[in-house]
Amino acid sequence: AMQSNFSLRSAAANLEVSAAVARQADRRLEPVMALSLPTGVGDQGTDAGTSAFFGTSLDVAWEADIWGEISSGQAAALADFQAARATFEGARLSLAGQVTKAWFLATQVWRQLELTRATRDNLQGVLDLTLERQRIGQASEQDVRLTRADLSSTEDAVRNLEGAYEDAKRSLEVLLGRYPAAEIEVPLEFIAMPGPVPVGLPSELLQRRPDVIAADRRVAASFARVDSAQAARLPSLTLTGSLGTASNDLGGALDPANAIWNVGANLLVPILDQGGRQLGVEITTAQQEAAVADYAATGLRAFSEVESTLMQESVLADREGFLEQSAEDNREAYRLAELQYNVGAIDQLSLLQIQTRVFSAESQLVSIQGARLTNRVDLHLALGGSFESPAADEGE
C-alpha cells in the first residue's frame, strides 16, 4: 500500500510542491541577475548614416532584509513545509490503519459468513423435521411458518454477508492500488490479540502525532507571517547594479574597454498604499488566532481519541470474556444434548435448536474479537505510533 496507493502518491507530490515553495522563499535573500543582449539600429550622426549597434547587459538587484520581512517569510514557508511533511506522515499512518482494519474486517466477515451458513443448514434440518412432525400431527402450521421465516431470514443474512465479503476484499484491493476484482486472499482466522496496553502511557507520546505536529507548525507559520506583514509596513531598500557594453561591432560589444557600470539604491517607502499593508497585518493576525485555536482543538481531539480507545480496550476485553463464557456454556449444553439425544431422552428438533444457540453465541464472539483488533489499531493511530517513547521509535 505504501508503494502503490494512489492517494498516498498524490500526497507525496503535494509534499514536493511544498518543498519547492520553501526553496523558492529562500531565494529572496539572494541577488537577482538578468542577462540581456540588446540590439538596434540608429543614426550615428556621421556621414555613414544609420548603423547597427550591439550590446550586453548584466543587471543585478538585491533587497536588503533590514526589518526581517524576507527572513520571516522564509520562516513561514519552512514551517508550512514542515506542516505538509507531518500531514504526509499522517497520511501514511492513516493508510496503514485503513489497510489493517480492512484486513481484519475481511476475516471477520468470512467467519460470520461461515457461521451463518452453518446456522442456515441447521435451520433447514429443523424445518424438515417440523414438516415431518406436522405430517404426523405433532406440529402445527404455525410451527412450520415460524421455522420457515427463520430460515428465510438466515438465507438473507448469508447473501448479505457474501456481498459484504466481496466488498471487503475490493476495499482492500483499492487501498493496495489494485483493480477491485475481489480476488485477493485474506486469512480465514484472526491474528492473536496483541499483549495488554502498558500502564501509565506518557502524554508526551501525543506530541509525535502527525496532526499535532502539523498544527504546531501552522501556528509557527502564522506567527512568522504576522512578523512579515508588520515588517512590510516599513521602508525597504533595494540595491541595483548594471554592467553593460555598447559597440557598433558585435565583437567589440564583448570588449572590456566598452564596459559601462551603474550602481543605484532605491529606498521604497510605503506611504500611499491605502491601508493595504495594515489590512495585511490584520489578516495575518486573525489567521494566527485561528491557527492557535486549531492547535488547541487538535490537542483536545487527540486526548479524547486516546481516552475513548483506552476505555473501549477495557470494555471490549470484558465483553469478550463474557461472550467466551457464553459460547463455552452453549457448546457444553450442546454436548450434553447430544448425549441425551443418543439415549433417546430428547428428540432431534431440540438438539438442532440448541445448536442454533451455539452458532449465535459464536457469531457474537467473532464480532467482539474483530472489534478488539480494530480498536487496538485505533489506539495506535490515536497515539501516533507504538507504545514506545518517541526516542525509542527514532532508535528503531
Torsion of CA 87, 91, 92, 96, to 10 degrees: 150
Q: Which helix (H) or strand (E) holds 43?
A: strand 39-43
Model confidence band, residue 253 (pLDDT cutoffs 50, 70, 90) = very low
Lowest average pLDDT, out of 33-47, 201-215, 343-357, goes to: 33-47
Do the Cβ atoms of 221 and 291 come closer than 8 Å? Answer: yes
Greater pLDDT, 98 or 263: 98
34-79 per-position pLDDT tens digit: 666 665 555 555 555 555 555 566 666 656 555 667 778 888 889 9
Q: State residue 391's pLDDT score.
A: 56
Model confidence band, residue 228 (pLDDT cutoffs 50, 70, 90) = confident
- Checking if the pLDDT of 284 tops 90, the result is no
Set of cell numbers at residue 60:
543585478
Residues 6+ positions from 108 with CB-CB distance below 8 Å: 190, 366, 367, 369, 370
- Checking if the pLDDT of 23 tops 90, the result is no
Model confidence band, residue 204 (pLDDT cutoffs 50, 70, 90) = confident
163-173 per-position pLDDT tens digit: 999 999 999 99
- CA separation for the pair 184, 244 (Å, rounded): 69
Q: Region 229-233: what's the mean pLDDT?
A: 68
Write down the pTM of the prediction: 0.77
Q: State residue 307's pLDDT score.
A: 92
- CA separation for the pair 317, 321 (Å, rounded): 6
Q: State residue 86's pLDDT score.
A: 94
Q: Region 387-391: what's the mean pLDDT?
A: 69
Do the Cβ atoms of 25 and 228 come closer than 8 Å? Answer: no
Model confidence band, residue 272 (pLDDT cutoffs 50, 70, 90) = low
Q: State residue 138's pLDDT score.
A: 85
Q: State residue 206's pLDDT score.
A: 85
Greater pLDDT, 234 or 137: 137
The three-state secondary structure class of 54 is strand
- CA separation for the pair 357, 272 (Å, rounded): 84
Q: State residue 25's pLDDT score.
A: 74
> What is the overall mean pLDDT for the chain?
83
Set of cell numbers at residue 141:
402450521
Residues 6+ positions from 122 with CB-CB distance below 8 Å: 352, 355, 356, 359
Set of cell numbers at residue 50:
544609420
- Checking if the pLDDT of 250 tops 60, the result is no
Q: How far apart are the first and last CA of the chain?
A: 21
Q: Region 135-160: what's the mean pLDDT?
A: 92
Q: State residue 205's pLDDT score.
A: 83
- Checking if the pLDDT of 255 tops 80, the result is no
Q: State residue 232's pLDDT score.
A: 65
87-139 per-position pLDDT tens digit: 999 999 999 999 999 999 999 999 999 999 999 999 999 899 889 989 999 88
- Checking if the pLDDT of 396 tops 50, the result is no
Q: What is the DSSP letter of 162?
A: H
The DSSP-derived string for 240-308 is EEEEEEEESSTTGGG-GGGEEEEEEEEEE----STTHHHHHHHHHHHHHHHHHHHHHHHHHHHHHHHHH
- CA separation for the pair 368, 316 (Å, rounded): 7
Q: State residue 139's pLDDT score.
A: 84
354-368 per-position pLDDT tens digit: 999 999 999 999 999
Greatest mean pLDDT range, 42-51, 130-139, 180-189, 198-207: 180-189
Q: State residue 393's pLDDT score.
A: 47
Query: What are the b/e assignments for 272-291, b being 16+ CB within 10 Å?
Result: eeeeebeebbeebbebbeeb
